[in-house]
């Protein structure tokens, strides 16, 4: 099967679905389709990262491209480097996925995600060369030895990104209380604490001892429980949690309650709007954004542009419309006038500045910004998520649920862009109603799309 780009690069189980052979072929294809030299390559803390990075780099070098290994680095830091140096880049990471998975994200000149047309061209290239096998002699002639690319290393490259963040935030108001920092045993472990040290933010660090297998394991932005407990135990002002490659961030208030990306968007959007800095008084959100966010923004005179799930869609809409703020409930927030991609650490610093300037707690700020409607999301494993579009019985059930909810709730079913599952989301007036309806729809999906499905 030909590998395909999902919403955030190519992902799969490391050493099987995402093999060194595939990474090698992808390196060759990327060299043919992406301009600029040398090629920057970084990784998160997964055990499989060095293996896949070596294979990808070998493919690039075999096609005549110099490669600079920047070591363990966050995706936003790599994107910043690519933008600052006008170079292409590749990040070896599966973001919030468990350590058994890995992925390869390709970035064009300027640190932006690849255009869909470029991704499709690379997929066709992989298909023509066997999708994971080295190209035949007819597909690509062997280069003379002197034309083979060099493999270089610049492990201190991330310091430029650290300096950049510190310079931008110098003099900004910062919270006076203790901040708990959950680095997910990922790429933020060696970056975020240094930035907070230099800005004088009092903090304690959790889950910053990566061993190659503990990335996202019971920690980080997808597992806020441990952070919440430590925030309450320490009497901290708030907690911040990153995912494995730190392109997203979620928060926990002093009561141990989560603050998600929708609430953060509402806080930032209202603040920018009040200061006349929200271009066209409009933000970009995805179809998963809570209905409560839409209500709160409308009441504040702020418009919404809705996109499919995936920060690449948010980024594309921001660029197309010339807007400055967009994001996802998962914590991917993009400040287009400040960064080319979602940046969890930048978002955390801007949150610190907002709280320090207003003097409010995170709990008060989030409560003032919006009221969340109960929202439940179930993942239903299926072998072929694309079959959802033609599953008539499922859509009949959706129509019945929507009629029951009326204007008091919302339903969304979509095939995942990163996993073999259908995501079923329901918003309703009460948690109990949302739970009942999401189970009803999930059962319909499992029944119609796969004999061996089970609710996740």
Residues involved in catalysis: 95
Tell me if 386 sits within 8 A of 304, measured CB to CB: no
State the Cα–Cα distance between residues 224 and 182, nearest whole angstrom: 9
CA nearest to 23, candidates 3, 39, 38 = 3
State the Cα–Cα distance between residues 122 and 32, nearest whole angstrom: 9
Cβ-based neighbours of 330, under 8 Å, separated by 6 or more:
96, 221, 248, 250, 260, 261, 288
Tell me if 350 sits within 8 A of 269, measured CB to CB: no
CA-based diameter of the chain, in Å? 70
Tell me if 452 sits within 8 A of 417, measured CB to CB: no
Tell me if 96 sits within 8 A of 331, measured CB to CB: no
Tell me if 242 sits within 8 A of 183, measured CB to CB: yes
Strands 151-153 and 39-43: unpaired
State the Cα–Cα distance between residues 77 and 164, nearest whole angstrom: 10
Copy the structure tokens of residue 428: 């309703």
Kindly compute the dihedral angle of the four CA atoms of residues 3, 5, 8, 14, in this order, to the nearest 10 degrees.
10
State the Cα–Cα distance between residues 309 and 317, nearest whole angstrom: 12
Cβ-based neighbours of 296, under 8 Å, separated by 6 or more:
266, 270, 369, 370, 371
Kindly compute the dihedral angle of the four CA atoms of residues 206, 183, 332, 168, in this order, to the nearest 10 degrees.
100
Copy the structure tokens of residue 35: 């301009």
């Amino acid at each position: 099967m030909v590998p395909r780009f999902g919403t955030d690069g190519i992902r799969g189980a490391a050493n099987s679905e995402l093999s060194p052979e595939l990474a090698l072929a992808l390196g060759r294809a990327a060299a043919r389709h992406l301009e600029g030299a040398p090629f920057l390559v970084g990784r998160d803390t997964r055990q499989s990262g060095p293996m896949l990075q070596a294979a990808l780099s070998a493919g690039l070098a075999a096609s005549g491209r110099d490669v600079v290994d920047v070591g363990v680095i966050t995706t936003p830091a790599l994107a910043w480097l690519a933008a600052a140096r006008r170079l292409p880049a590749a990040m070896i990471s599966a973001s919030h996925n468990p350590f058994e998975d890995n992925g390869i994200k390709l970035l064009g000149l300027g640190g932006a995600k690849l255009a869909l047309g470029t991704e499709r061209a690379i997929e066709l290239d992989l298909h023509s060369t066997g999708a994971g096998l080295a190209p035949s002699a007819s597909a690509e002639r062997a280069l003379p030895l002197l034309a083979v690319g060099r493999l270089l290393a610049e492990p201190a490259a991330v310091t430029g990104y650290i300096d950049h963040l510190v310079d931008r935030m110098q003099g900004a108001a910062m919270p006076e209380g203790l901040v708990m920092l959950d680095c997910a045993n990922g790429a933020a472990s060696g970056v975020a604490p240094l930035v907070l040290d230099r800005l004088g933010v009092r903090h304690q660090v959790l889950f910053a001892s990566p061993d190659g297998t503990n990335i996202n394991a019971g920690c980080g932005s997808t597992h806020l429980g441990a952070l919440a407990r430590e925030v309450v135990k320490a009497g901290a002002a708030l907690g911040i949690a990153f995912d494995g490659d730190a392109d997203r961030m979620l928060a926990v208030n002093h009561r141990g309650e989560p603050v998600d990306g929708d609430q953060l968007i509402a806080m930032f959007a209202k603040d920018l709007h009040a200061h006349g800095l929200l271009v066209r008084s409009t933000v970009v959100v995805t179809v998963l954004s809570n209905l409560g966010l839409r209500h709160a923004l409308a009441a504040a005179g702020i418009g919404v542009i809705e996109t499919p799930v995936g920060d690449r869609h948010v980024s594309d809409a921001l660029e197309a419309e010339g807007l400055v703020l967009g994001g996802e409930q998962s914590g991917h927030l993009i400040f287009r006038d400040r960064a080319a991609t979602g940046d969890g650490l930048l978002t955390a610093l801007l949150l610190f500045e907002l709280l320090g300037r207003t003097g409010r707690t995170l709990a008060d700020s989030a409560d003032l910004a919006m009221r969340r409607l109960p929202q439940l999301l179930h993942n239903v494993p299926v072998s072929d998520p694309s079959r959802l579009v033609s599953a008539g019985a499922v859509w009949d059930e959706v129509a019945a649920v929507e009629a029951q909810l009326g204007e008091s709730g919302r339903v969304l079913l979509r095939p995942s862009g990163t996993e073999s599952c259908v995501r079923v989301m329901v918003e309703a007036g009460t948690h109990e109603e949302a739970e009942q309806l999401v189970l009803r729809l999930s059962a319909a999906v499992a029944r119609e799309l796969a004999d061996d499905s089970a609710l996740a």
